[in-house]
Structure 1
């Protein structure tokens, strides 16, 4: 899988957000987009996934031809559902609940897996959002600051899990931490 962005421009009214962005991401790349807050990283992700249209430039293949799995800056979980139920929603068919429970237990305490996510800590919610994205069928991963709210020990565990589950599919993520990029063996894309 290869994604090519060529000369992407995007403005909101008279405010230019992206000006002439070009990049290529291919399997098995893990690319970390590093830039200050407010420079258009989230907008770029929304364009790549087809949630918004660029003012000009091309994205190839077109977003509707790619199955994306994403972690947004907000966790976007259903608060009254458990982590088990939230993750199951992203999976095809009817997942085997005992197998899924064991998979979630790799990153979450067992007692948290069946509780409503509204009762979980921010770090547990973040892990749930990551589990949902990593277990869903997709062609490419988009992660917008995926390690927010995770302590260093938990982040190390999550990074190992992420490297296992991406399985050669391309990853584009934003982070402010070069150590995250290093732990992932990622290419760093400077962006401003």
Structure 2
């Protein structure tokens, strides 16, 4: 099939342009396409954080590199695009991961007022944050993430790629950990 949606590998490879925790030379590079308003994305992110702690303890800090890419499903979740823009606006002030974690932790409260409250709690420059949101300064980056996902066959969040290969197993800690360790060899 020539349809680009049939791909099971990551076509836009991880780079220094991605939001990442860890080094790109890690044995495992895990890319997640996620949606801040999607409960499964939040559950998978919690799972990844637990696995990350486990693997770091067993194999060291540089074993896993985690990359997050935006894949807001605005047709299902009305606040997800704005939440992704809030994460990027926070990133412009050096607080991507703090906002990222906050958005997943409070995914039932992603309306504008809450986003400003989270930004304030993180100590962000609120006028700049609001300006970035209002002008949709970071929408190109979000759209690039969406396009990269679509080209790799992502149609719904969450989607995971382990060392550039689509993970199609169950969203359980043992299965995902096993798949990651197997991919490291």
TM-score by structure 2 length? Answer: 0.26
* Structure (1/2) with the larger strand percentage: 1
Structure with larger RCO (C-alpha < 8 A, sep 6+): 2
* Structure (1/2) with the larger helix percentage: 2
